[in-house]
């Protein structure tokens, strides 16, 4: 079982819709969770971090964390064509591991004008 | 401007010719790391460093070396590159401490082709 799993997509949504990206992780001891956006040929860019159960909102982005279900999601409201990118979920490894983050393989999002 | 820089951005080389990819950060971060990214395989960690003179292997360290003699620099060395090391390489850094200690920031990437 992969440590961090994401649907690879592609996920297509119309402009103005809500895009929902999901991520599950295997280690119950994981503490911190991150969403990165990566445009084709570019480097990953940190867009959200979440550390406790519940929702965290930042502009059009909302991260949701449910540690009991080992599930983290990213919602993008009012999706724009400029949101078209691959979204990477990253999970902090449990305390004591210096490797820091494990990344999922990413979900490719396309927002259709 | 806070940033992670990498050089070169693009490199085409031949099998066996030693090369170094430099990485530098100006954020006084404790933690630095190298990743490679390949289609269908995602980001895989090569090496990481918790601080000066402290380095350790990640998931795919074979064929690579690193050093951390200064806090800001973390070069990646390929002593005898092979075609299977053709990839997109990213350097990343994070504070390593504090509430945002694990938030990693990435350099622009180095696209390496080994023929």
pLDDT in tens, B71-86: 999 999 999 999 999 9
Q: Residue B17: which of B102, B109, B82 has the closest Cα?
A: B82
* Cβ within 8 Å of residue B57, ≥6 positions away: B47
pLDDT confidence bin for B48, thresholds 50/70/90: very high
Q: Return the pLDDT at A1.
A: 58
Q: Return the pLDDT at B108.
A: 97
Torsion on CA atoms A26, A74, B30, B32, rounded to nearest 10: 80
Q: Return the pLDDT at B19.
A: 97
Q: Which of A3, A101, A104, A105 to mutate to test the interface with B (most CBs of B within 10 A)?
A: A101
Torsion on CA atoms B62, A45, B87, B65, rounded to nearest 10: -30
Q: With beta carbons under 8 A apart, name residues in chain A contacting B102.
A: 32, 34, 92, 100-101
Q: E strands of A39-105, at which residues? A: 45-50, 54-58, 61-66, 71-76, 85-92, 101-103
Q: What 8-state DSSP symbol labels residue B53?
A: T
Q: What is the residue whose two structure tokens read 């806070």? A: B2
- Does A98 sit within 8 Å of B103, measured CB to CB? no
**Segment A61-76, tens digit of pLDDT:** 999 999 999 999 999 9
Give yes or no for residue B94 having a pLDDT over 80: yes
* Strand pairing category for A107-112 and A11-14: parallel
Give yes or no for residue B8 having a pLDDT over 90: yes
- Does A99 sit within 8 Å of B105, measured CB to CB? no
Q: Report which of residues B53 and B102 the model is more confident about.
A: B53
Average pLDDT, chain B: 94
% of chain B at pLDDT higher than 90: 84
First and final CA of chain A: distance in angstroms? 37
Q: With contact defined as beta carbons under 8 Å apart, do B80 and B63 qualify?
A: yes
Give yes or no for residue A92 having a pLDDT over 90: no
Task: Say how far apart CA B10 and CA A111 lie, in whole Å.
Answer: 30
User: Per-residue pLDDT averaged across B11-40, rounded?
Assistant: 95
Token pair of B48 as six digits: 């990481």
pLDDT confidence bin for A95, thresholds 50/70/90: low
- Does B43 sit within 8 Å of A44, measured CB to CB? yes
Give yes or no for residue A19 having a pLDDT over 90: yes
Q: Which of A45, A98, A106, A108 to mutate to test the interface with B (most CBs of B within 10 A)?
A: A98
Q: Residue B49: which of B23, B24, B22, B67 has the closest Cα?
A: B67
Q: Return the pLDDT at A27.
A: 87
Q: With contact defined as beta carbons under 8 Å apart, do A48 and A56 qualify?
A: yes
Q: Return the pLDDT at B97.
A: 76
């Amino acid at each position: 079982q992969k440590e961090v799993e994401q649907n690879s997509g592609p996920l297509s949504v119309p402009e103005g819709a809500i895009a929902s990206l999901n991520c599950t992780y295997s280690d119950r001891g994981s503490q911190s969770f991150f969403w990165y956006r990566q445009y084709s040929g570019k480097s990953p860019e940190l867009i959200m971090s979440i550390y406790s159960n519940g929702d965290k909102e930042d502009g059009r982005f909302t991260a949701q964390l449910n540690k009991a279900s080992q599930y983290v999601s990213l919602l993008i409201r009012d999706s724009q064509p400029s949101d078209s990118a691959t979204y990477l979920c990253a999970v902090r490894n449990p305390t004591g591991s210096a490797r820091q983050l494990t990344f999922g393989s990413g979900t490719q999002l396309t927002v259709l004008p | 401007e806070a940033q992670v820089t990498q050089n070169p951005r693009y490199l085409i080389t031949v099998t066996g010719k030693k090369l170094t990819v430099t990485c530098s950060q100006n954020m006084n971060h404790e933690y630095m790391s190298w990743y490679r990214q390949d289609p269908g395989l995602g980001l895989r960690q090569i090496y990481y460093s918790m601080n000066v003179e402290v380095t350790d292997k990640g998931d795919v360290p074979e064929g690579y070396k690193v050093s951390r003699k200064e806090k800001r620099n973390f070069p990646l060395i390929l002593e005898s590159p092979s075609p299977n090391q053709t990839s997109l390489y990213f350097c990343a850094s994070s504070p390593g401490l504090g509430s945002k200690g694990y938030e990693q920031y990435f350099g622009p990437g180095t696209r390496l082709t080994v023929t």
